[in-house]
Amino acid sequence: MKKLFRLLALTTLFFPTAFRTQAQDAGNFYQNLLISEEMRLEENSGKAQDSAGKLLDSKPETIKIKGPKLRKHTSVNKKTAQQTEDKKETYGNAPFGLIWGSSISDVKNMGVVLEAAGEKDYVNSFSASFLPKPVNEFRDVVLTFGEDDKLWRIIAYGNFTQDTPNASKILAVYNKYYKLLSQKYGNAKQFYTPKVTNVDKTVEIGGGKTKTVTEQVEEPIGGKNFLNELQTGEAVLYSTFENGKVGVALAVNVDGQNRSYIIIDYKNLKIMQARDQNTLDAL
């Protein structure tokens, strides 16, 4: 069985005592809506890495327009531009210079190169390169359009980091994006399930007698073996953000080679709610 994906969130002060809340206490909204199965399974990280490698040799397709078709092309461009503005007005701007609700052809027309990602649980998912606003700290970005051909989900995989045993390097990267996402989307919620170690302790019970009791000790965020705890799944820490329109999950994963990296999973809540409402109306 594949290892469960280890999730990590971090506050600006790195105080472990502030987040003793168990991950299972999170509401269904955050567990089921923002924390997707891709983010739980490490096998997806390998898939993303392979896709990113293939994209290095990709080139945007050159579109040639002949003179006689120029007028028609201009008309189509005006229509497309209006449709793009309508989608921006309805759903808003998406990360990396994209627009929520865009179709596959809309995104390609922006010069983005799409390569099928093959995610069985997400229809019409593509690894994207030549994004309008790329971020160098992400090695791969996957776009999901769904059966209705509307961009509703974006998941970005960060670059690999050769980390220290206490995961200090990726915590610094994570802390940076935690602040940015909190500022942009708000409603930050953080959940931490620490590794628990059983420690035997001898205590006096009176009359010169003693007995051995077992105490549970919770390991802190950024402890001396934190990277390994995340890799084995003994520690789970993640955060979510949402503004009523977009929901975001921020996490850290550690692969089998002790390489850490962040993942950001964006979902357009308005599109998801409309889809659910259409299903409800049909029942």
The sign of the CA dihedral 71, 77, 80, 85 is negative
Confidence of residue 75 (pLDDT cuts 50, 70, 90): low
Confidence (pLDDT) at 58: 36
8 A C-beta contact, residue 87 and residue 271: no
Segment 35-64 mean pLDDT = 41
pTM (global) more than 0.75? no
Confidence of residue 50 (pLDDT cuts 50, 70, 90): very low
- Bridge partners of 251, per DSSP, are 263
Segment 49-66 mean pLDDT = 36
Relative to beta strand 113-116, strand 125-129 is antiparallel
pLDDT: which is higher, 192 or 41: 192
pLDDT: which is higher, 85 or 263: 263
- Phi–psi pair at 71, nearest 5 degrees: -65, -45
8 A C-beta contact, residue 144 and residue 154: yes
- Compute the mean pLDDT over every residue in the chain, rounded to the nearest whole number: 77
- Bridge partners of 204, per DSSP, are 210
Could you count the other beta carbons within 10 Å of the beta carbon of residue 97? 12
Within 13 Å, how many C-alpha atoms sit on residue 119's CB side?
Answer: 29
Weakest-pLDDT range from 30-44, 45-59, 90-104, 224-238: 45-59
